[in-house]
């Protein structure tokens, strides 16, 4: 298991934004951290009240937004307009091209979220949008994104499964990927022992093929696990 500590990430900081990059992004370039399998971007963003990303365009990327606190206002060229809250997940398929804006939905508090990019299985897909609520049950894995939309997850056009677990302190979970599968773990909140190695908020970890994983929460924690081909 190769750990990517939170303080090793790239960083973008402007007046209304602090963004931490697990992989190369925008002006941050690290040839040893371009992507992991089909996982291309994990940005941890803090957007001040009143701030946001004005309308901009994407192509040929699956973009997932996961809110940790606050709320995010989304508008796009497909006509979608929504507010994304904690406990919800959004997927935007850029495909042949889509434009969108993302603004802090509050004038009183910052919004803290993860923006995740997945390389799609093929180029030229039709643009699409999806937003769903996530189960609030603690101490178990919840499938929140998958290729076929299984278990009421959002649909991603790539052979991945994205799981969420919210662990209370001293609770444990195991995960065993199938043969030929790899995992990336992202600690969204808290501190967790993973195979007896301590990871904390903002840390990520890549595993080799078919690596068994054991998670022990050292404090209340929120974990994203990407099961990747």
How confident is the model over 79-108, as pLDDT tens digits? 999 999 999 999 999 999 999 999 999 999
Residue 158 and residue 121 share a domain: no
- Indicate whether 126 belongs to any domain: yes
Mean pLDDT for 152-167 is: 98
- Whether 52 and 114 share a structural domain: yes
Judge if 161 and 63 occupy the same domain. no
Report the C-alpha gap between 124 and 121 in whole angstroms. 10
81's CB contacts (< 8 A; 6+ apart) are 73, 74, 75
Same domain, 159 and 215: yes
Owner of token pair 């901009």:
56
Do both 183 and 214 map to the same domain?
yes
Domain final residue pick, 78, 102, 133: 133
In a domain, 3, yes or no: no
Confidence class for position 14, pLDDT limits 50, 70, 90: very high
pTM > 0.85: yes or no: yes
The whole domain housing 146 covers 142-228
pLDDT of the residue at 128: 97
The answer to whether position 2 is within a domain reads no
Beta-sheet strand order (sheet of 221-228)? 2-4, 204-206, 182-189, 221-228, 160-167, 142-146, 154-155
Q: Are 151 and 106 within one domain?
A: no
pLDDT of residue 136: 87
Q: Which residue, of 109, 133, 157, is where some domain finishes?
A: 133
Answer yes or no: is pLDDT of 193 > 90: yes
Which residue among 74, 108, 133 closes a domain?
133
122 and 198 part of one domain: no
Taking the CB of residue 52, how many other CB atoms lie within 10 A of it? 18
- Which pLDDT tens digit goes with each residue over 101-121? 999 999 999 999 999 999 999
In this structure, the strands spanning 142-146 and 10-14 are unpaired
- Across the range 126-140, mean pLDDT stands at 96
Q: Are residues 123 and 159 in the same domain?
A: no
Three-state SS annotation for the chain: CEEECHHHCEEEEECCEEEEECCCECCECCCCCCCECCEEEEEEEEECCCCEEEEEEECCCEEEEEEEECCEEEEECCCCEEEECCCEEEEEECCCCEEEEEEECCCCCCEEEEEEEECCCCCCCCCEEEEEECCCCCCCCEEEEECCCHHHCEECCCCEEEEEEEECCCCEEEECCCCCCEEEEEEEECEEEECCEEEECCCEEECCCCCCEEEEECCCEEEEEEEEC
* pLDDT value for 179: 95
Q: How many domains does the chain have?
A: 2
**105 & 18 share domain:** yes
CATH value at residue 182: 2.60.120.10
Same domain, 206 and 111: no
Q: Do residues 53 and 110 both lie within one domain?
A: yes
Instruction: Look at residue 192 in the predicted model and tell me its pLDDT.
Output: 98
CA distance 169 to 95: 41
Q: Is 207 within the bounds of a domain? A: yes
> Quick check: 143 pLDDT over 90?
yes
Same domain, 168 and 84: no
């Amino acid at each position: 298991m190769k750990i990517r500590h939170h303080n090793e990430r790239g960083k973008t900081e402007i007046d209304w934004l602090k963004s931490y990059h697990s992989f190369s992004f925008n002006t941050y370039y690290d040839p040893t951290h371009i992507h992991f399998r089909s996982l291309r971007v994990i940005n941890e963003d803090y957007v001040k009240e009143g701030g946001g990303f004005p309308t901009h365009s994407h192509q040929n990327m699956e973009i997932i937004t996961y809110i940790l606190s606050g709320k995010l206002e989304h508008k796009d060229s497909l006509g979608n307009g929504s507010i994304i809250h904690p406990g919800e997940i959004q997927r935007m398929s850029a495909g042949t091209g889509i434009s969108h804006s993302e603004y802090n939905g509050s004038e009183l508090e910052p919004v803290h979220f993860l923006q995740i990019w997945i390389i799609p299985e093929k180029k030229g897909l039709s643009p699409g949008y999806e937003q769903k609520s996530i189960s609030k049950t603690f101490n178990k894995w919840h499938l929140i994104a998958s290729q076929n939309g299984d278990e009421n997850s959002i649909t991603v056009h790539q052979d991945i499964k994205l799981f969420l677990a919210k662990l209370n302190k001293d609770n444990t979970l195991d995960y065993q990927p199938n043969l030929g599968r790899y995992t990336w773990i992202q600690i969204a909140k808290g501190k967790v022992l993973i195979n007896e190695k301590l990871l904390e908020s903002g840390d990520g970890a890549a595993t080799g093929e078919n690596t068994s994983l054991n998670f022990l929460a050292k404090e209340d924690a929120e974990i994203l696990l990407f099961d990747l081909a």
